[in-house]
């Protein structure tokens, strides 16, 4: 079972010196991947369903993973997640291809549809059609990454007679991992994703999500050209070896762990202790 670390661009890891130390330590300790989160802005004051206080530091995923690509060699670099309908998909395709090239083909592209209306409003982006645009934007990214002569004509995105290089190192493209727990998100993962990612999901909810995904796949089938759906999950903090093995028994391929840390020193100790108590035993 693969083990990653979530939050390499947030909180204390939004400091480049801490992120650099943590990334190198995680790579040396045998972790498989590092994952960013994303909110461009957060509501002030914090009100539900906002996940964090407005002063929470959260560096841009593409910029931060490009930085970490330059200070690591092997560890995979994931977005967990990028809020896709808030982005221009043509521009994002170039950003993510650049990260994949800079890292030598280590990008894992996790995406979601978003849920904070104030964030969309601040960006001047529609909130009500975010699901449909998420689906469309995934198709736009695929076209720009894989088509010999990219072109697209959809409800909100249209282009032809253009091209964009460099293309991603990974062929046909970096893994597309769909995050979210709603029925539309699960259907999107089955129809368009190489993987599904659940954030802060306990074992009971994980079991229910796997059952829902299996039911959707049985009823509708996978999208054309897609293989087995890889399953990733961020469990609650302090997940031990027994629970990790239970996630594996449910069919999960990757644990993306959320460190329960408040200082750089504590984070480094957490990396060492988790590598010893979990990572090496699940390998």
CATH code of residue 195: 3.20.20.30
pLDDT of residue 261: 87
Mean pLDDT of all residues in 255-274: 95
pLDDT, tens digit (0-9, with 9 covering 90-100), for 65-92 = 999 999 999 999 999 999 999 999 999 9
Question: Could you tell me the residue range of the domain that residue 220 belongs to?
Answer: 2-282
Q: Count of domains in the chain?
A: 1
pLDDT of residue 262: 85
The DSSP element (H or E) to which 244 belongs, if any, is helix 241-249
Phi, psi dihedrals of residue 223, rounded to the nearest 5°: -65, 160
Q: What is the DSSP letter of 251?
A: T
Quickly list DSSP for 85-136: GGS-HHHHHHHHHHHHHHTTS-EEEEEE----HHHHHHHT--STTHHHHHHH
Angstrom distance (rounded) from CA 22 to CA 263: 11
For residues 197 and 110, the answer to whether their CB atoms sit within 8 Å is yes
Q: Is the pTM of this model over 0.85?
A: yes
Structure tokens at 256: 């993306």
Mean pLDDT of all residues in 209-215: 98
* Alpha-carbon distances of 153 from 48, 97, 143, 179, 223, rounded to whole Å: 37, 21, 11, 25, 19
């Amino acid at each position: 079972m693969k083990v990653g670390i979530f939050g390499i661009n947030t909180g204390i890891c939004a400091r480049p010196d801490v992120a650099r130390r943590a990334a190198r330590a995680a790579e040396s300790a045998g972790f498989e991947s590092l994952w960013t989160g994303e909110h461009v802005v957060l509501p002030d004051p914090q009100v539900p369903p906002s996940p964090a206080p407005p002063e929470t530091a959260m560096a841009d995923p593409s910029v931060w993973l490009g930085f970490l690509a330059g200070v690591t060699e092997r560890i995979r670099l994931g977005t967990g997640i990028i809020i896709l309908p808030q982005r221009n998909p043509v521009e994002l395709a170039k950003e993510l291809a650049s990260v994949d090239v800079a890292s030598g083909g280590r990008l894992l592209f996790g995406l979601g549809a978003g849920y904070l209306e104030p964030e969309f409003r601040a960006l001047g982006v529609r909130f009500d059609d975010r699901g449909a645009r998420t689906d469309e934007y995934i198709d736009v990214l695929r076209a720009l990454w894989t088509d010999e002569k990219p072109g697209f004509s959809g409800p909100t995105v249209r282009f032809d007679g253009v091209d964009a290089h460099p293309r991603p190192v990974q062929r046909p493209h970096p893994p597309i991992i769909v995050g979210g727990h709603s029925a539309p998100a699960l259907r999107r993962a089955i129809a368009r994703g190489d993987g599904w990612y659940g954030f802060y999901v306990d074992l009971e909810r994980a079991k229910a999500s796997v059952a829902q995904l299996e039911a959707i796949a049985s009823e509708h089938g996978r999208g054309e050209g897609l293989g087995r759906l890889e399953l990733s999950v961020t469990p609650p903090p302090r997940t031990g070896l027994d629970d990790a093995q239970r996630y594996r028994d449910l069919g999960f391929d990757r644990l993306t762990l959320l460190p329960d840390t408040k200082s750089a020193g504590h984070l480094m100790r957490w990396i060492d202790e988790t590598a010893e108590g979990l990572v090496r035993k699940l390998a």
